[in-house]
Amino acid sequence: MFKRLEENPTETVMVEIEGTSVRVPAGESVAAVALAHGLIHTRTTTISGKPRAPYCMMGVCFDCLVEIDGKPNRQACMIKVAEGMRIRRQHGAGE
């Protein structure tokens, strides 16, 4: 869906996206690296279980809620990636 304009970022970190280790540019949001990695949906909804993905990228829609390091309901577009971070899809309310 998305590709990077520039390759070879100067600073990188290793994160885990749905169990796969990925090297990503430092300073990026969790939502951006998930999209760049090709994660089509990042959560399923609480009511009907339908897939959702980041929508606004600026913290107002809350559609990008994911599980980070085992904690659910994290806003992927508002959180920066960090070394060793484990990013997973959130299923429903994440409880």
Point out which residues bind other proteins (CB under 8 A): 1-6, 25, 27-29, 32, 35-36, 40-42, 45-48, 50-63, 65, 73, 75, 77-78, 80
* Shortest distance in whole angstroms from residue 75 CB to other proteins: 7
Residue with tokens 């508002």: 78
Query: How many other β-carbons are positioned within 10 Å of the β-carbon of residue 6?
Result: 6
* Shortest distance in whole angstroms from residue 71 CB to other proteins: 9
Max CA pair span of the chain: 42
* Shortest distance in whole angstroms from residue 36 CB to other proteins: 6
> Which of 57, 44, 48 lies closest to 94 in space, CA to CA?
44
